[in-house]
Amino acid sequence: MNDLFLRATKGEKVERTPVWFMRQAGRSLPGYRKLREKYGVLELTQNSELAAQVSIEPIELLGVDASILFADIMLLPMAMGVKLEIVENVGPVLSKAIDTPQDIRELGDFDPKDVEFLQQTIRILRERLEVPVIGFSGAPFTLASYLIEGRPSRTWLKTKAFMLSHPKEWDRLMTLLSRGVVEYLRAQVAAGAQAVQVFDSWVGALSPAQYREQVLPHMRRIFASLKGSKVPRIHFGTNTAGIFSDFSSVDAEVIGVDWRLSLKEAKKIAGKKALQGNLDPAVLLAPWKTITKTVDAAFAEINPKRGYIFNLGHGMPPEADDAVVRKLVQYVHSK
């Protein structure tokens, strides 16, 4: 077993910096693109053998040190009764959004039996891989944003208006989603996931006060509830520079950092917690000299061989060249 990633989450000294990339499974890789000619995204996630195949491809092609489960953050809301489709070049589009507080009643409790396919994918990966398997879930705010907006948004105005206009119902929605997140991740750990990551992709839309009052208490409960699972817990969000002190205060082993905050500053705030990130995905499309210069500058700010996992500050762009990404993995391993 290549345990570089797991050791780094614990802050242990490693012989080379571990690497994995968010959204490494799919998007830019040739095997995934070929499968997408025949299958939709949700079809792939619900076919355990094919989902495992997609999850394994970056390990073999890129040489990364961990496997992120190929899934979709909307699988949890779907298991709670939400009906949606993934629209090409748009994202998840719901049949019915949450427009009023009464609509929250239509959400059901999460039952692990509804994602048995996901658990089977993890079992397959554990049998076939010699790197750790990372399970994941969307965070309650990000999930609530999709449920309220009904589709991806650039402003999340409807979500924030609901949160500010109906604080009690917002708390109820966040509590329901938080409970689902915990049980969803526990099911993944029970199937063999060796680490879990909670993605709060859109939480940067909030002010520090909004985050502190209406999101952070739920995040703290989630991470506290997962402590008994005894696997490393990663808290990731984008555009979190303005809330990073609160964001990194949860009881998690690893804090994700996007490119809007330097590793040096993030380390100063996060303290003894391990860091993950913070390469701007756009750098992957730049000349090789720019890529290495960016990596070198980031590594000069921290000790990359203790308590650090190399990753992007968000997901792998579809335009990324897998040959360049593989070369980057080798470069990071050589540092």
Q: Exactly one of 7, 27, 179, 233 is catalytic; name it.
A: 27
> DSSP H helical segments within 130-243, as ranges?
140-149, 157-165, 167-191, 208-214, 216-226
Angle at 141 between CA 317 and CA 267, to 5 degrees: 65
Residue 23 appears among annotated catalytic residues: yes
Cis peptide before 278 (omega within 30 of 0): yes
Q: Taking Cα atoms as reference points, which of 50, 61, 64 lies closest to residue 22?
A: 64
Q: Looking at 23, 179, 186, 221, which residue is catalytic?
A: 23
Among 241, 245, 244, 232, which Cα is nearest to 309's?
Answer: 232
CA atoms within 13 A on the CB side of 182: 19
Residue 97 CA from chain centroid, whole number:
23
- Residue 75: HSE in the Cβ half-sphere, 13 Å Cα cutoff: 27
Alpha carbon of 173 to those of 81, 179, 221, 251: distances in Å? 14, 10, 14, 22
Instruction: Give catalytic status of residue 260 as yes or no.
Output: no
Q: Would you call 72 a catalytic residue per the annotation?
A: yes
Task: Name the helix (H) or strand (E) containing 49.
Answer: helix 48-62
Are 252 and 241 contacting, i.e. CB atoms less than 8 angstroms apart?
A: no
Among residues 72, 200, 246, 258, which one is catalytic? 72
Q: 83: burial class by Cβ within 10 Å (0-12, 13-18, 19+)?
A: exposed
CB burial class (10 A; 0-12, 13-18, 19+) of residue 70? Answer: buried
Active site (annotated) includes residue 27? yes
Buried b (16+ CB within 10 A) or exposed e, 151-176: eebeebebbbebbeeeeebbeebbeb
Among residues 7, 65, 146, 179, which one is catalytic? 146
32 is a catalytic site residue: no
* Residue tagged active-site, from 16, 36, 123, 220: 36
Q: Active-site residues: which are they?
A: 23, 27, 36, 72, 146
